[in-house]
Chains A and B, each alone.
Chain A
Amino acid sequence: MLSKKQARAFFLGGTVVTFLIFIGLTIFSLSKGQDQTNHEGITEQVVRGKVLWEENNCMGCHTILGEGAYYAPELTKVLDRRGEGYVKAVLMSPVPWNPNGRQMVAYGFTKEEADDLIAFFDWIGGIDLNGFDTVVSPLAKDKIERQTKN
């Protein structure tokens, strides 16, 4: 029968080994050669967009890369789906955007701020998501397919 000492060795050994593997995999997957995000494409404008995204807690309603609050639409491929003009209108609207009865906070962003957020969405939209990009926004996928056929 297992002794307490052996049980402790199992705990400590298992933890150390899996943690080291975890660190190794982290270093590997964040290394330059494995980049799937077009990291070079993160311009100052994209960073400003990300700051706005965070300062206003957008993922408190929306999702991005599938992460967020499921109350408002996924925004990973929003530019493909809606087009830049629509997105800008929502961002700059002085009154709460109210599609199908669900209200968005009226942020009333300036044109520059809206451009920053668009740049952020544009960068997000180009990330290789291991296949999720085709599932997350099927409407966007169809739209792209239609455009390429035409």
Chain B
Amino acid sequence: MKYKSQKVAYWFFAFSMLLLVLQITYGFIMGFARIGFDGLHEFIPFNTARAVHTNLLVVWLLSGFMGAAYYIIPEEAQRELVSVKWAYVQLISLAVVGVAAVIGYHFNWWEGRKFLEIPRQLDYLVVVNVLLFLGLILATLFKGKRKTTTALVLTMGLLFAALLYLPGMLPFDSQVTDSFFRWWVVHLWVEGVWELIMGGILSFLLIKLTGVDREVIEKWLYVIVGLTFLSGILGTGHHYYYIGVNNIWLIVGGIFSALEPLAFLAMALFAVNMYRKGEKKHPNKIALFWTLGSAIVSFVGAGLLGFAHTLPQTNLYTHGTLVTAMHGHLAFWGAYAMIVLAIISYALPNMTGRKLYDSSVGRAAFWMANVGMIGMTVAFGVAGVAQVYLERKFKMDFMEVQAEISIHFVVLILCATLFTVGIIMYIMDFIKHGKPTDEELDLESDL
């Protein structure tokens, strides 16, 4: 750690871990409800559990991205954050908005729009919170000694993510138009600007972990984010095939969605090649596992499994089925959850001074979480494909099909248990690192 203010990141990461545990808990509530154990229905019906599960995901990832930015930007800009006090204010306000939203969901206080359930009143608070965050990051970057590509791409991702929240706040009378602009937020976040954030964090980690020249890494970073936008922006079309808008999106969405895996393939090849090329062997093996893991799993989960159902001919049958949940789980895990866990694994030893670089708990956490999540993805996939055939080809009734596929949710819960054990081990390692300390300041080291 080179700057005292980087310590702020620790608390954002800790908040992330807390929400991750809650997110998993609500996932289990849904899993059990699907196999008939819905004893909590009266207090936490499925729609509440679902809104909490997906929103907590978004908030813990955002908190992780913010923590990453507070850690990375001072180091890249070579100066302290402009204000540590305001960064803490921002964290607390983020926590207040998050907690208020989650509690509200239990009392039917929400907007009922998939992924953007946060009630309108809280939306304004989100905007203020994000503006404060961006103000701190931009001011630090602007006043800094240098403006690196890594820092610019990361900041651009965060800035665009904030701007793209706005179309989701426009009111429409038509469900179709509503849905159309909801995807401007959701799709252009996860298949657009969030990839900039991921790319920025990945580039920072590769520079630190492999020792490859910054110029080389940052050049490829531009190529990757270029491919992301080139395919991802018009790839939004795959959400517009069958929601009641012009069929021109079938062609545009089909072609550009097919290109989307290229960006993730480039990311995976880039990470692996930089690792091979690198002469420096950083002792933090756990961070390296998560970094390379993120690049590879995101290619499989977001790239390949996304492509598995974005061709219009396939999507005609898979749209609105569990096939989407299959892709969603591995994509979010690989691309965003794993990159946040990577930057945490890298930053923690530097902030706290406990060099748990290669603990057996840390390694086991990586493998168990990944194997568990891949198992969950397969369970969702089998359930989804069976649902497509039974319901849409053999015209069986929805609930009859649900009864047929419920066995796959037993498998899902078993795999989710393995995943959870992995995450608990990761958090045990997190806690074992202890609190951040100023004694770890080290301007000379490039670790």
Contact = CB atoms under 8 A, between A and B. Distances in A.
Nearest to B253: A25
Given A11-B229, A37-B244, A67-B114, A3 B219 contact: yes
A136 B393 CA distance: 10
Interface string A109-150: 000000000001000100111111001101100100000000
B443 interface: no
Interface string B373-392: 00000000000000100011
B150 to A, nearest CB: 12
Contacts of A92: none
B367 interface: no
A32 interface: no
A93 to B, nearest CB: 14
A25 B175 CA distance: 19
A16 to B, nearest CB: 9
A14 interface: yes
A29 B240 contact: yes
Given A30-B180, A56-B108, A67 B229 contact: no
A61 B391 CA distance: 17
Contact of B47 (A60, A128, A132): A60
Chain A: interface size category: 35 or more
A124 B222 contact: no
A21 B174 CA distance: 24
A67 B226 contact: no
B218 A132 contact: no
Contacts of B245: 29-30, 34, 36
Q: State the majority secondary structure of interface residues on B.
A: helix
B395 interface: yes
Given A57-B110, A99-B399, A130 B320 contact: no
A49 B301 CA distance: 37
Contact of A47 (B41, B173, B180): B173
A37 B176 contact: yes
B219 A4 contact: yes
Nearest to B319: A66
B223 A7 contact: yes
Contacts of A18: 229-230, 233-234, 256
A105 B249 contact: no
A100 B36 CA distance: 10
B246 A29 contact: yes
Interface of B: 30, 33-34, 36, 38, 41, 45-48, 50-51, 108, 110-114, 117, 149, 173-180, 215, 218-220, 222-223, 225-227, 229-230, 233-234, 236-237, 240-250, 252, 256, 316-317, 319-322, 324-325, 387, 391-392, 395, 397-400, 402-403
Given A34-B245, A57-B110, 12 more contacts: A11-B225, A14-B226, A50-B178, A65-B175, A70-B324, A73-B399, A74-B320, A102-B399, A129-B244, A132-B242, A136-B319, A136-B392
12 contacts: A53-B175, A55-B110, A60-B117, A65-B243, A66-B243, A74-B320, A102-B36, A103-B41, A130-B242, A135-B316, A136-B319, A139-B395
